[in-house]
Amino acid sequence: MPLSQRWTLTRYLIEERRRFPTASGDLNALLLDVSLACKAIARIVAFGQLDDGLGSAAPPQGGAVNVQGEVQKPLDVLSNQIFIQMNDWSGHLAGMASEEMDAPKQIPAAHARGKYLLVFDPLDGSSNIDVNVSVGSIFSVLRAPQEVVDSGRDVTEADFLQAGATQVAAGYALYGPTTMLVLTVGNGVAGFTLNPNLGEFMLTHRDIRVPADTQEFAINSSNSRFWEPPVKRYVDECLAGQPGPRAKDFNMRWIASMVAEAHRILMRGGVFLYPRDSKDASKPGRLRLLYEANPIALLMEQAGGRASTGRQPMLGVKPTELHQRIGLVFGSKHEVERIERYHHEPPAQERGNPLFADRGLFRN
Ligand code: AHG
Ligand code: MN
Ligand code: MN
Residue 361 lies in a domain: no
Please determine, for residue 30, whether its predicted confidence score (pLDDT) is greater than 70: yes
Say what the pLDDT of residue 3 is.
84
Residue nearest to atom 3 of ligand 1 (CA): 124
Query: Ligand 1 pocket check: which of 287, 288, 329 to mutate, most ligand atoms within 8 Å of Cβ?
Result: 287
Amino acid, single-letter form, for residue 161: L
Atom of ligand 1 nearest to the CA of 127: 2
Measure the CA–CA gap between 106 and 204, rounded to whole angstroms: 35
Mean pLDDT, residues 234-254 taken together:
98
- Cα(274) to ligand 1 centroid in Å equals 9
195 in the same domain as 313: no
| Average pLDDT for 257-273 | 98
**Out of 80-84, 158-162, 344-348, 356-360, which region has the weakest mean confidence (pLDDT)?**
356-360
* Pair 63, 155 in one domain: yes
More confident residue, 103 or 1: 103
Beta bridge partners of 118: 96, 141
Q: Are residues 242 and 352 in the same domain?
A: yes
Residue 225 lies inside a defined structural domain of this protein:
yes
- The per-residue b/e assignment along 316-325, b for 16 or more CB within 10 angstroms, e otherwise, is ebebeebbeb
Ligand index nearest the alpha carbon of residue 219 = 1
Q: Are residues 251 and 181 in the same domain?
A: no
pLDDT digits (tens, 9 = 90+) for 289-342: 999 999 999 999 999 999 999 999 999 999 999 999 999 999 999 999 999 999
Do 257 and 341 lie in a common domain? yes
- Residues 64 and 200 placed together within one structural domain of the fold: yes
Is 248 found in the same domain as 136? no
Q: Number of structural domains, the chain?
A: 2
Which residues lie at CB < 5 A from ion ligand 3? 99, 121, 123-124
Q: Whose CA is nearest to atom 7 of ligand 1?
A: 125
Q: What is the mean pLDDT of residues 126-134?
A: 95
Q: Which domain holds residue 114?
A: 3-205
Tell me, yes or no, whether 261 and 196 share the same domain.
no
Q: Looking at the predicted structure, is the pLDDT value of residue 10 above 50? A: yes
Give the per-residue pLDDT at 330.
Answer: 99
Q: Hey, whose CA ends up nearest to atom 18 of ligand 1?
A: 220
Mark whether 18 and 85 lie in a shared domain: yes
At residue 70, the pLDDT reads: 80
Residues 112 and 199 reside in one and the same domain:
yes
How do strand 287-288 and strand 325-326 relate by DSSP bridges?
A: antiparallel
Q: Which atom of ligand 1 is nearest to the CA of 125?
A: 2
How far, in Å, is the centroid of ligand 2 from the Cα of 67? 13
Q: How far is the CA of 68 from the centre of ligand 1 (A)?
A: 12
Q: Is residue 232 assigned to a domain?
A: yes
Domain-terminating residue out of 205, 232, 260: 205
Q: Are residues 235 and 267 in the same domain?
A: yes
- Domain assignment present for 362: no
In a domain, 351, yes or no: yes
pLDDT of residue 356: 52
Q: Do residues 322 and 161 touch, judged by C-beta distance below 8 A?
A: yes
Sheet strands side by side (includes 251-252): 251-252, 216-218, 271-274, 328-331, 306-308
